[in-house]
Structure 1
Amino acid sequence: MVSASAVLIIIITFIFPPIGVYAVAGCGADLLVNVCLTILGVFPGHIHAFYLEYVYYDRREQAREGRFTAGRAPGIYSERVQQGGGGYGTIAQNT
């Protein structure tokens, strides 16, 4: 299910990719990589930003369903994106 925040981030990313990456991954290596790719050309920055957002929302949805991905997504340095924004805390299981 797509939330309103996801749609808003996608629209922002379409206009200027580094803002979308900052909203999902925060200030870190992923943002630096995206700024460099955006400077190199329009498409590399967009592709990287949409990839980050896809992984972030996919991992977030998997965590909500109780499925956890063991492997790391390649090319992503942010733990926030790797865990779908879940952080290091515990998730309560529905019984």
Structure 2
Amino acid sequence: MSTQVASQNTLLKVILAILLPPLAVFMHSGLSTQFWLNLVLTIVGFWIIGIIHALIVVL
């Protein structure tokens, strides 16, 4: 049962990584350097790079 919950949690994070990359990174690692890096990448305009970075962090 716990593996099903973990896979649903991962699926949610992957969907969020595509739609809102900083939120997915925040859910995964909190207010860490990874979150701030992703936030800067996404805000500066490298949205695609923000998505790729979020997917790397989440997966």
- Give the TM-score, by structure 1 length: 0.52
State the number of aligned residues: 54
Highest RCO, 1 vs 2 (Cα 8 Å, sep ≥ 6): 2
Q: Map of 1:12-51 to 2, 5 A cutoff? A: 12-40=16-44, 41-51=46-56
Which entry has the higher C-alpha Rg, 1 or 2? 1
For residue 14 of structure 2, what is the aligned residue in structure 1? 10
RMSD: 1.5
Structure 1 residue runs of 4 or more that deviate by more than 6 Å after TM superposition = none
Q: Deviations over 1:56-91 (max 9, x none)?
A: xxxxxxxxxxxxxxxxxxxxxxxxxxxxxxxxxxxx
Q: Amino acid of the residue matched to residue 53 of structure 1?
A: V
User: What percentage of residue pairs aligned between the two structures are identical?
Assistant: 28
Structure 1: unaligned runs, 5 residues or longer: 55-95
SS at match of 1:24: helix
TM-score where L is the length of structure 2: 0.81
Consecutive unaligned residues in structure 2, runs of 5 or more: none
Paired residue secondary structure (1:27): coil
Partner residue of 2:58 out of 53, 58, 62: 53
